[in-house]
């Protein structure tokens, strides 16, 4: 009797049915999580755990109007000046890189462009000499591949041989600068070990958010951009008649939703005005928020002086924590 329990036919069936979870090493590949906002016009982290490097004048958005079947979101990059382009990156931690070191990996993604876009797109898993970083050190193309996207959504794959190195990052970019008005969109990005592209692994929003919060989290509501004001802050009740220039009062302890990758950089904002290092109280808006005892699991937020306040004062501050690579 021949058993197919562990045969290729059965394995192929499992892939086709979307089983075998945790194979996608890309975080936020479906562009679901957008804790920093949904529109960006400068280089930096944008949709969660995606870094954009802009040349010229460009805008990157989380798009909901034009997406492939079975997806809700895409990332769309648009140029608004000649000789412009946007490259997107996602770095890998050394601990995660071990899963595909010295192996062949398959990158797959859905992409489309508009009629103004010209040329090809470059995709690679680049390697560097510095671990756990995105931009530091020296980087080199590992096994660059080129695709020619069309004006209709299609899935593209690239098989890449990855060696042994310290730093690793995924990159996708137009191969050349673009004219004003050129667009490209991407979603469903997947990196997996092996030489076969399996169906995209759709994780729940909650799972994807938790993966992203290892690198960035906030006290703000999910639909509020940090630093924009008009958000729910981190409240605390103070009972103090005055604060001197040297003393402080603890507002409270902010415990992060998940342990962060490393001790994060904490930035406080006035939740009314969006001003950094600010907070709001019964008597007005102030500056002077400090962070103490910062760890991977949480932080103590403090209010510093000088200011004069009443005996029963409600103070609110909003904050973000970043441990991005």
Specify the residue for token string 């096994």. Answer: 143
- Report pLDDT for 291: 83
Closest-CA residue to 21 (of 214, 208, 171): 208
Confidence of residue 240 (pLDDT cuts 50, 70, 90): low
Asked if the model's pLDDT at residue 168 lies above 90, the reply is yes
Cα–Cα distances (Å) from 122 to 21, 119, 147, 195, 310, in that order, read 28, 10, 7, 19, 60
Residue 309 has pLDDT above 60, yes or no: no
What 3-state DSSP class applies to 230? coil
Quick one: which of 273, 177, 200, 201 has its CA closest to 230? 273
Contact 317, 289 (CB under 8 A): yes
d(CA 96, CA 261): 12
Closest of 125, 121, 109, 108 to residue 182, by C-alpha: 121
Quick one: what percent of the chain has pLDDT higher than 70?
A: 84
pLDDT for residue 194: 93
pLDDT at 210: 98
Q: Which one is predicted more confidently, 283 or 81?
A: 81
The pLDDT, as a whole number, for residue 268 is 87
The residue assigned the tokens 């639909």 is: 223
Rounded Cα–Cα distance for residues 212 and 5 (Å): 36
Residue 271 has pLDDT above 90, yes or no: no
The whole-angstrom separation of Cα 296 and Cα 298 is 6
Taking only the tens place, the pLDDT of each residue in 37-90 is 999 999 999 999 999 999 999 999 999 999 999 999 999 999 999 999 999 999
Return the number of other C-beta atoms located less than 10 Å from residue 65's C-beta. 7
Q: What are the tokens at 18?
A: 């979307």
Q: Among the CATH numbers 2.60.40.10, 3.40.47.10, 2.60.120.260, 3.60.20.30, which is that of 8-213? A: 2.60.120.260
User: Please, are residues 120 and 148 in contact by the beta-carbon 8 Å criterion?
Assistant: yes
CA angle 207, 210, 216 (to 5 degrees): 145
Q: pLDDT of 183-211, one tens digit each?
A: 999 999 999 999 999 999 999 999 999 99
- pLDDT tens digit sequence for 1-18: 433 333 333 444 445 544
The chain-wide mean pLDDT, for the chain, equals 87
**Nearest-angstrom CA–CA distance, 109 and 115:** 20
Query: What per-residue confidence (pLDDT) applies to 1?
Result: 40
Q: Could you tell me the residue ranges of all domains in the chain?
A: 8-213, 218-322
Quick one: pLDDT band at residue 270, thresholds 50, 70, 90? confident
Q: Is pLDDT above 70 for 235?
A: no
Residue 7 CA, distance from chain mean position: 38
Please tell me the distance from the alpha carbon of residue 29 to that of residue 31, in angstroms, as a whole number. Answer: 5
Q: So what's the pLDDT on residue 18?
A: 46
Q: Say if CB 77 and CB 121 are below 8 A apart.
A: no
Assess whether the previous peptide bond of 306 is cis (omega < 30° from 0). yes
Q: Say how many residues make up the chain.
A: 325
Measured distance CA(256)–CA(294) in Å, rounded: 11
**In 10 A of CB 124, how many CB atoms?**
22
Rounded Cα gap, residues 90 and 48, in angstroms: 10
pLDDT (0 to 100) of residue 276: 85
Residue matched to tokens 């920093």:
36
Q: What is the pLDDT of residue 50?
A: 98
Task: Output the pTM of the full model.
Answer: 0.91
pLDDT of residue 155 exceeding 90, the answer is: yes
* Higher-pLDDT residue of 87, 292: 87
> Does residue 253 surpass a pLDDT of 70?
yes
Tell the burial category of 239 from Cβ atoms under 10 Å away from its Cβ (0-12, 13-18, 19+). exposed
Residue 258: exposure state from Cβ atoms within 10 A (0-12, 13-18, ≥19): middle
């Amino acid at each position: 009797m021949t058993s197919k329990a562990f045969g290729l036919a059965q394995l192929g069936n499992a892939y086709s049915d979307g089983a075998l979870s945790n194979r996608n090493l890309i975080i936020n590949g479906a562009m679901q999580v957008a804790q920093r906002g949904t529109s960006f016009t400068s280089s930096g982290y944008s949709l969660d755990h995606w870094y954009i490097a802009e040349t010229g004048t460009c805008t990157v958005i989380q798009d909901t109007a034009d997406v492939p079947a079975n997806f809700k979101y895409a990332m769309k990059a648009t140029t608004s000046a000649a000789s412009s382009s946007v490259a997107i990156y996602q770095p890998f931690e050394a601990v995660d890189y071990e899963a595909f070191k010295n192996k062949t990996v398959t990158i797959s993604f859905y992409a489309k462009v508009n009629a103004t876009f010209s040329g090809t797109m470059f995709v690679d898993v680049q390697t560097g000499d510095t671990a756990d970083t995105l931009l530091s050190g020296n980087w080199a193309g590992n096994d660059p591949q080129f695709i020619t996207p069309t004006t209709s959504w299609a899935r593209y794959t690239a098989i890449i041989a990855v060696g042994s190195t310290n730093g690793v990052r995924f990159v996708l970019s137009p191969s050349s600068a673009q004219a004003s008005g050129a667009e490209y969109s991407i979603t469903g990005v997947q990196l997996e070990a092996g030489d076969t592209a399996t169906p995209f692994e759709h994780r729940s929003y909650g799972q994807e958010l938790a993966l992203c919060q290892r690198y960035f989290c906030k006290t703000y509501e999910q639909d509020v951009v940090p630093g924009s004001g008009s958000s729910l802050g981190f409240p605390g009740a103070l009972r103090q008649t005055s604060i001197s220039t040297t003393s402080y009062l603890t507002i409270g302890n902010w415990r992060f939703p998940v342990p962060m990758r490393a001790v994060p950089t904490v930035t406080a904002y006035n939740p009314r005005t969006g001003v950094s290092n600010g907070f709001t109280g019964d008597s007005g808006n102030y500056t002077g928020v400090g962070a103490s005892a910062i760890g991977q699991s949480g932080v103590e937020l403090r209010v510093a002086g000088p200011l004069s306040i009443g005996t029963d004062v409600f103070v609110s501050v909003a904050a973000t924590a970043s441990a991005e690579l």
